[in-house]
């Protein structure tokens, strides 16, 4: 077996190859992760809930199957975001209200991962109910950025991103409504994908038509991301929004190396301020596509309604899912969650009518845009990682935001278009902090999106920048 350090640094795909060859076992990997968590997670606080006994029992059952027949992940350990139910494991949603809840049944996405050879060993930290792009809560405290322990890991999949970046996970599960897979990936120097609606089946809750939030993968490389997406994807009859598997795997699409012909870059999507250093780094990365013979032009679809539309639809979602908590447990909710629910309860049908119409218009314009361009590139986050004490970004480049989510417009605008999008590392600030490039594909175009991102990943040469040992404040 390879050394612990070599395994921690190996890609998920390489580790799966070793699992299938029998040169390492799922139990070996759990031992390696448990040691790594003891070594570094006390500094980062990415994985506050561990379930190694459950994981070892699952690994032993999986190992009864012959090599090569243990699923896509073949016994690779996977942490689950603490918004999602795992049977027999504490699932707090980052809230004091649910701090002792232990569900009897897993969400179907967890069952799918386990069916495909994933071994669940931990829950990753999240803000309360996933509200906010800075990962802290009253149950477990804050998750810190491994690149600088004085900085935020973003959110709401901040624990997942910090675990992948610091070597306590090879891949991780997360979710994304307004950038919650993409922002943490950007801040932590890894890759995070928001897939198309229905690509990853989930157990419905509250309402069947909730399409702002999706489940997705995080990883250190584009190919590892594709591997996990393969393991998460597929139809489930109990989720009416889920869509069937494609005939070819996402990993094979990545390996095919198909490059885009024409891409667009925008520093701001026409709707948001951006830190000048972030704009310069992402522009340079996008223009590097020209080195592969790709046409690069500055353009973006018209997304002018994004702020108003997202504010309404997000507030409505919070009212649907959390109004009962406001009535019964108001004193246990953080101020931002209370604000979100109350904004939703104020809405009129005419507000929803207008917002849904705006979303349809933006989706149609995005669809038309991708008749000309294969990919759209822009910053994944408009700022470098900020101090952990800041609950959110209140100002950027001279512009003050109206509320605690408006600084996320560059990602939630893409949410509204229903297009798949990922964040990938594209460079570092003058202070050595990661900057993420958002790469957006056409509707249901994960295969071409991942393939194009892999081409750029090869050009930029940042694939081996993680995992890292946590670094003290600079």
Identify the active-site residue in 124, 166, 180, 233.
180
Helix (H) or strand (E) holding 171: strand 171-176
C-alpha–C-alpha distance, residues 134 and 158, integer Å: 7
DSSP-based helix, strand, coil % in the chain, nearest 5? 40, 15, 40
- Sheet of 119-124: strand order equals 49-50, 119-124, 77-81
Q: Look at residue 282 and give its three-state secondary structure.
A: helix
Q: Look at residue 430 and give its three-state secondary structure.
A: coil
Beta bridge partners of 434: 428
| Residue with the two structure tokens 């090599």 | 67
Residues sharing a CB contact under 8 Å with residue 258, sequence separation 6 or more, in sequence order: 448, 451, 452
Beta bridge partners of 49: 123
The answer to whether 81 is a known catalytic residue is: yes
**Residue among 121, 381, 388, 168 nearest 268 (CA):** 381
Angle at 382 between CA 377 and CA 385, to 5 degrees: 120
Q: With contact defined as beta carbons under 8 Å apart, do 450 and 225 qualify?
A: yes
C-alpha–C-alpha distance, residues 81 and 403, integer Å: 25
Count other Cβ atoms within 10 Å, centred on residue 258.
16
Identify the active-site residue in 106, 124, 152, 156.
156
Q: With contact defined as beta carbons under 8 Å apart, do 441 and 448 qualify?
A: yes
| Residue with the two structure tokens 């050394």 | 3
The answer to whether 156 is a known catalytic residue is: yes
Per DSSP (E only), the strands in 187-250 are 191-194, 214-219
Count other Cβ atoms within 10 Å, centred on residue 115.
14
Residues sharing a CB contact under 8 Å with residue 353, sequence separation 6 or more, in sequence order: none
Q: With contact defined as beta carbons under 8 Å apart, do 142 and 445 qualify?
A: no
The answer to whether 60 is a known catalytic residue is: no
What residues are annotated to the active site? 81, 156, 180
């Amino acid at each position: 077996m390879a050394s612990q350090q070599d395994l921690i640094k190996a890609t998920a795909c390489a580790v799966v190859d070793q699992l299938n060859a029998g040169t390492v076992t799922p139990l070996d990997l759990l031992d390696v992760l448990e040691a790594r968590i003891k070594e570094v997670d006390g500094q980062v606080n990415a994985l506050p809930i561990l379930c190694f006994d459950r994981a070892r029992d699952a690994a032993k059952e999986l190992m009864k199957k012959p090599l090569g027949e243990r699923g896509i992940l073949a016994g690779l350990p996977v942490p689950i975001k603490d918004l999602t139910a795992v049977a027999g494991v504490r699932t707090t949603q980052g809230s004091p209200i649910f701090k002792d809840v232990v569900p009897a049944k897993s969400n179907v996405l967890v069952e799918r991962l386990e069916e495909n050879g994933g071994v669940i060993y931990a829950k990753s930290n999240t803000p309360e109910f996933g509200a906010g792009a800075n990962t802290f809560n009253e149950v477990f405290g804050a998750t810190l950025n491994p690149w600088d322990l004085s900085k935020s890991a973003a959110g709401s999949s901040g624990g997942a991103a910090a675990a992948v970046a610091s070597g306590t996970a090879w891949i991780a599960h997360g979710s994304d409504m307004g950038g919650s897979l993409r922002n943490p990936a950007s801040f932590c120097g890894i890759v995070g994908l928001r897939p198309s609606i229905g690509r990853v089946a989930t157990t419905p809750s509250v309402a069947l038509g909730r399409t702002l939030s999706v489940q997705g993968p995080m990883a250190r490389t584009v190919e590892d991301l594709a591997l996990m997406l393969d393991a998460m994807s597929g139809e489930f009859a109990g989720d009416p929004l889920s869509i069937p598997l494609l005939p070819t795997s996402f990993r094979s699409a990545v390996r095919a190396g198909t490059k885009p012909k024409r891409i667009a870059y925008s520093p701001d999507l026409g709707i948001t301020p951006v830190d000048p250093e972030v704009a310069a780094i992402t522009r340079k990365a996008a223009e590097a596509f020209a080195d592969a013979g790709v046409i690069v032009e500055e353009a973006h679809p018209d997304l002018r309604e994004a702020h108003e539309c997202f504010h309404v639809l997000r507030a409505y979602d919070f009212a649907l899912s959390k109004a009962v908590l406001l009535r019964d447990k108001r004193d246990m909710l953080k101020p931002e969650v209370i604000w979100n629910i109350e904004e939703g309860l104020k809405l009129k049908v005419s507000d929803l009518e207008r917002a849904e119409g705006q979303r349809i218009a933006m989706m149609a314009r995005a669809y038309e845009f991708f008749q000309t361009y294969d990919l759209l590139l822009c910053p994944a986050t408009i700022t470098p990682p900020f101090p952990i004490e800041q609950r959110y970004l209140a100002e950027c480049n001279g512009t003050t935001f109206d509320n605690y989510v408006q600084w996320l417009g560059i990602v939630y605008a893409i949410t509204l278009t229903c297009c798949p999008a990922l964040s990938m590392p594209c460079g570092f600030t003058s202070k050595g902090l990661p900057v993420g490039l958002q790469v957006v594909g056409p509707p249901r175009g994960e295969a071409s999106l991942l393939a194009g991102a892999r081409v750029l990943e090869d050009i930029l040469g940042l694939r081996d920048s993680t995992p890292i040992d946590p670094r003290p404040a600079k």
